[in-house]
Structure 1
Amino acid sequence: MLKHVQVRSSSSLLRPGGQKADTLSINSNMSFCSLHEPALSSRSSSYTSLNETQSSTGSASVPAAPPTTTVKVYTRCLRPDLEYKTMSVKYTTTCRDLVDQLLNKYRMKHRDPNLFFLTMEVATRSTGAAVRTILVLDDDSCPAQLQACYPRADSKFTVRMRRGGLVKVFDSVLMAGSKYKSLLISERTTVDQVIQLVLNCYNSNENVNHFSIYEVCHTTSFERKLHADDRPLAIQQEWSSPAEYSFVLMKRPPGTPRSGRDFPLRRSFLQWSRNRGMLRPNIETAAAEERKAKGLRSLSLSLAPCSDYDNFLYI
């Protein structure tokens, strides 16, 4: 619809009191495409279109959802009976998030997510032949963004498994009838992550901060509380005789500080260190006398274990 508008403003006319009258005359030549279409001025139509633009892009409008896409992930590592799983992910979803989603869908919350990682197989064409290259992705890589850089037929995502080891955690504090749980974890798994895996085995919603893992030596009656960032598998590999040590899950005593590196010890170990400091002069004197007398062996110090668990030493 074409509109031709001419505006004439005359201020020379006078009202009946000698006042000037402001008059506005509009001569409009309009062509209609239909007789039933309402006649709108050009100013009103422009105002309507401007309001529609502001309402569609205004701050009060609902923000648009982030774009999503589908990624095909081959999961024979998790489920040998399923070849692949098609996942709907965002462009900001990382590989670690994708592994967590797969474990939740397969109901494998007791499995350690640190054991699994993603690889991307890319096909490149050179000299007429396709060359397949396997790329190991970091945990913070985004599969959707990587897939957008290649054709779907030339990229393939696969879940693979890292090397790990079995860790036995005694968890009678959660269930009296249970003795321990054997968990397959990776070398990078921390103490807090192990506690979360144990809680997942019982479908427990308790907070990880309410529990601690202790390294217990049964022969010397010595125990040490592990820090939240310690790695149980690395500690287990340092044990000289694994049968003498174990990991025990315990409730955190009320008032125990969470921050810092704290090492609760039994009183027997504290008493051992104190007695060793007090008896050191006697031991050195006896050792000197034995060396003079050409004795057979040096003296040894043995202490009786103490059953008091309430004395803690924080370093």
Structure 2
Amino acid sequence: MTMLKYQVRSSSRPTAYGSPSSSTHDTTLTSRSNSLASLNSVDSANSEGDWGTLRVYTSNVKACTAYKTIRVSTQCTTKSVIETILSKFKISCKDTNLFELWMEVTTKATTGVVRTLLRLDYTARPLQLQRCHPANMSRFILHMTSEGTLVRVHDHNISPQSNYKSLLLAEETTCREAIDILLSMNRKEPEGDYALFLTAPEGEAQIPSEVSLVPIAAINSKLAEMNGKLLVRKHCRENNLERVEAFLLNLFASQQADTNESQK
């Protein structure tokens, strides 16, 4: 039988979880074995085949709830589990990349009960992992991280009565994902013909859809001094990142030239 191999690294955990009477270790699950032979042997003995249920504790996300039970397949990823629960709670206007799924594994040792917390990678398969442990010896916890960045996006082209929206985004959230959040906040269906633009009096540059938005927003805070802003609107073609970089370089060079001229 091929054993699952875990690669782990230290990570902070939700402080609300853990027992004073038990030893707790915090790790992050980042990869799995390529072979799932040991999992398949468990699945074949299970009457539900490739489907099962997960109980996910959700009080850190929605205070009035204790847990949510969902039915998933062994192929369902952590990302899908998070999206499913947020959808059931009708939390569609928040960045899913700010949410983490933790797995608490309980083992018995001579010194007592040991509880180990694993932060699951978005590509991990929670039901497969649950089946690696005895019943009632593991549980899942949904947690929202506090490591978000506020990004202001002007959205009057989506909703005329609105000026801008402030989005709390994770570092890795792409422009495409940010646009989907904006559309959800404005109660509009996701569309592929919207794009984000860096705009300034000197011109504008379209941001590629797969680029992470938070680093661009950091540049945008500098652009604000030049009447620049992030704007969402429909687009005709996709820009590449080199064009955005060229636009910014020209913009900052122009601003520096104006500053030098005024100091003469």
For normalisation by structure 2, the TM-score amounts to 0.69
Alignment of 1:212 onto 2:166: no
* Counterpart-to-counterpart distance in 1, 2:76 and 2:120: 13
Q: Name the SS of the counterpart of 2:243 in structure 1.
A: coil
What residue ranges of structure 1 are gaps of 5+ in the alignment?
A: 1-64, 277-297, 302-315
What amino acid sits opposite 2:195 in the alignment? S
Given candidates 167, 184, 187, the residue that maps to 2:151 is 167
Given candidates 81, 93, 97, the residue that maps to 1:114 is 97
* Counterpart-to-counterpart distance in 2, 1:180 and 1:262: 27
Given candidates 186, 191, 215, the residue that maps to 2:170 is 186
Measured after TM superposition, the shift of residue 157 of structure 1 is 0.5
Name the CA shift for 1:259/1:152 in 2 (closer, same or farther; >3 Å).
farther
Measured after TM superposition, the shift of residue 78 of structure 1 is 1.9
What residue ranges of structure 2 are gaps of 5+ in the alignment?
A: 1-47
* Counterpart-to-counterpart distance in 1, 2:73 and 2:84: 12
Measured after TM superposition, the shift of residue 97 of structure 1 is 0.4
What amino acid sits opposite 1:182 in the alignment? S
Matched residue, 2:160: 176
Q: How many residue pairs are counted as aligned between the two chains? A: 206
Q: Name the SS of the counterpart of 1:263 in structure 2.
A: helix
2:205–2:239 Cα contact (<8 Å) kept: no
Indicate the RMSD between aligned Cα atoms, in angstroms.
2.8
Name the CA shift for 1:103/1:213 in 2 (closer, same or farther; >3 Å).
same
2:153–2:232 Cα contact (<8 Å) kept: yes
Matched residue, 1:67: 50
Alignment of 1:132 onto 2:115: yes
1:236–1:242 Cα contact (<8 Å) kept: no
* Counterpart-to-counterpart distance in 2, 1:246 and 1:138: 34
* Counterpart-to-counterpart distance in 2, 1:104 and 1:299: 53
Measured after TM superposition, the shift of residue 239 of structure 1 is 4.9
Percent identity of paired positions between Structure 1 and Structure 2: 29
What amino acid sits opposite 1:108 in the alignment? I
Given candidates 199, 205, 208, the residue that maps to 2:183 is 199
What amino acid sits opposite 1:192 in the alignment? R
Measured after TM superposition, the shift of residue 150 of structure 1 is 1.1
1:225–1:262 Cα contact (<8 Å) kept: no
Any idea what the Cα deviations from partners look like across 1:83-104, whole Å, max 9, x if unmatched?
A: 1111111111110000110111
What amino acid sits opposite 1:165 in the alignment? T
Name the CA shift for 1:259/1:172 in 2 (closer, same or farther; >3 Å).
closer
Matched residue, 2:124: 141
Name the CA shift for 1:128/1:116 in 2 (closer, same or farther; >3 Å).
same
For normalisation by structure 1, the TM-score amounts to 0.59
2:155–2:162 Cα contact (<8 Å) kept: yes
Measured after TM superposition, the shift of residue 261 of structure 1 is 4.2
Matched residue, 1:151: 134
Alignment of 1:300 onto 2:261: yes
Matched residue, 1:100: 83
Name the CA shift for 1:259/1:221 in 2 (closer, same or farther; >3 Å).
closer
Instruction: Describe how 1:16-31 pairs up with structure 2 within 5 A.
Output: none
Measured after TM superposition, the shift of residue 242 of structure 1 is 6.3
1:119–1:158 Cα contact (<8 Å) kept: yes
2:220–2:230 Cα contact (<8 Å) kept: no
Matched residue, 2:243: 263
Any idea what the Cα deviations from partners look like across 1:169-210, whole Å, max 9, x if unmatched?
A: 1111012111111111100001111111111112222522x1
* Higher RCO (Cα < 8 Å, 6 or more apart): 2
| Bigger Rg, which one | 1
What amino acid sits opposite 1:250 in the alignment? R
